[in-house]
Copies of this chain bind each other. A is one copy, B any other.
Amino acid sequence: MKNIYLLGATGSIGEQTLDIIEKQRDDFKLIGISGYSNFDKLVEITRKFLPEIVVVKDKFDKEKLVKLFPTIKVEFGRQGLKTLATYHKEDQDAYLINALVGMVGLEPTIEAIKIERDILLANKETLVVGGHLVSLLKKQYQFKLYPIDSEHNALWQLMNHENTKDIKRLIITASGGSFRGLSRDELKNVSVSDALKHPNWSMGNKITIDSATMMNKGFEVIEACYLFDLDIDKVDTVIHKESMVHSLVEFNDGSILAHVSHPDMHLPISYAMNYPNRKVTHIKPFDLMLLNNVSFQTMDLERYPCLNFAINAFKIGGSMRTVLNAANEAAVDLFLSGKIKFLDIETIIEEAMRKHQVIDFPSLEEIYELDSTIKEEIYKKFR
């Protein structure tokens, strides 16, 4: 029996995690959850699972929730997330599932690592922005870090027990997102609603836009370097429209191993939660004949400059990754609220990176501070 501490319960990953907990009542117990903007859904989940602790957005939401559930511990904000991540410090059967979106996910990961809690990670920013901190902590603390992202989860399945030195390269597949058929010129006037129509995956808004700009793939390349301790020149990407092959690993002997499945996040979540076992999921059997229609296409960095920004940010290192992420978060937010055009996302990130003076090994506080500064500057400009 594993006790689950779930950050980001109301999002897409959170919801699918709850499906699995519900189906495997004998294997998992939900101890705590957090939610942010979707208060009603948080209430619904709380009613259904009756966790011990719920973390909400702010004091106002806390008061509302306490009234509904007087016996449940309710916390809020940044401190609340830290409390949830380290709740029942001594719990030896704990999994922190970090399904937060954005920079806010970094601190709870760090806190959980410091109490040696095992982490199932869906929050990309933890490694994009704080990978250097996590790597350092790996030397001091004993903890497991299992990826939930479909691509990294696939890579993990393929590399299980293989030697890193035998790996020639990882190949992360990219669907190409909602605008993959469009030229640079056609991207100029795309709408928000079109951008949110991902052809294969049903995901949150932020990641759907990151998928259209290919920034999502850039984040994934950075994550893969940290997760699997590989140099960035060993991590490639390829366009694969059908989202059936979730990633591939090429070895020095000429073997390539590939992970194939329907695009359904229940699968990587279930794999990470049940590792080293695999549990039957509701996912319908994959008909091999579908492989008759797979396609692969070389990645085009000119078409997708955001991927290039991410690669460069990783190579430059230190605080440049914070700038990459902060500028992207702000820009995507501005695009979603209709304040900028799609291609402005790139311009904003590029400019923020160009102006930045790198700090080599930023601390958590420096990261949070820089994140705020960058975002404020961008928001100021477009308010």
Contacts and interface: CB of A to CB of B under 8 A. Distances in A.
B286 A271 contact: no
A157 B257 contact: yes
A258 B257 contact: yes
A193 interface: no
A323 interface: no
Contact of A259 (B157, B163, B255): B255
B289 A298 contact: yes
A301 interface: no
Given A160-B160, A257-B258, A291-B296, A252 B267 contact: no
A197 interface: no
Contacts of A276: 161, 163
A278 B251 CA distance: 8
Interface of A: 157-158, 160-163, 166, 168, 171, 238, 245, 248, 250-262, 264, 267, 270-271, 274, 276-281, 283-286, 288-289, 291-292, 294-298
30 contacts: A157-B255, A163-B276, A163-B278, A166-B277, A168-B285, A171-B288, A245-B291, A250-B285, A250-B286, A251-B278, A252-B280, A253-B270, A253-B278, A253-B280, A254-B261, A254-B281, A254-B286, A255-B260, A255-B267, A256-B259, A256-B288, A257-B257, A257-B258, A289-B297, A291-B294, A291-B296, A292-B294, A292-B295, A292-B296, A294-B294
**Which 8 pairs between the two chains have the least Cβ-Cβ distance?**
A254-B283, A166-B278, A256-B260, A253-B278, A258-B258, A161-B161, A252-B280, A288-B296
